[in-house]
Structure 1
Amino acid sequence: MILALALSLTASDFQSVAALDTIVTQFTGKEIGEQGGAIAPIDRRLKLTSCAAPQLEWRNDTHDAVVVRCMAPAWKIFVPVAAVPKPRVAAPAPMPANVVVRPAAVVKAEPVIKRGDAVTVEAGSPGFSISRQGIAMNDAPPGGRISVKVDDKQPPLQAIAIEPGRARLPGFAEGS
Structure 2
Amino acid sequence: MIRLLIPALLIAAPAAAQQRSFQNTALLDTAVAQFTGAAIGSDGGAVAAIDRRLKLAPCAMPQFEWRSPAHDTVVIRCMAPVWRIYVPVIAEPKASAPILAAAAPVAPALKPAIVVKRGDPVMVEAGSAGFSITRDGVAMGDAAAGARLMVKVDPKKPPIQAVAVEAGRVTLPGWAE
TM-score (norm 2): 0.47
Max Rg structure: 2
TM-score by length of 1: 0.48
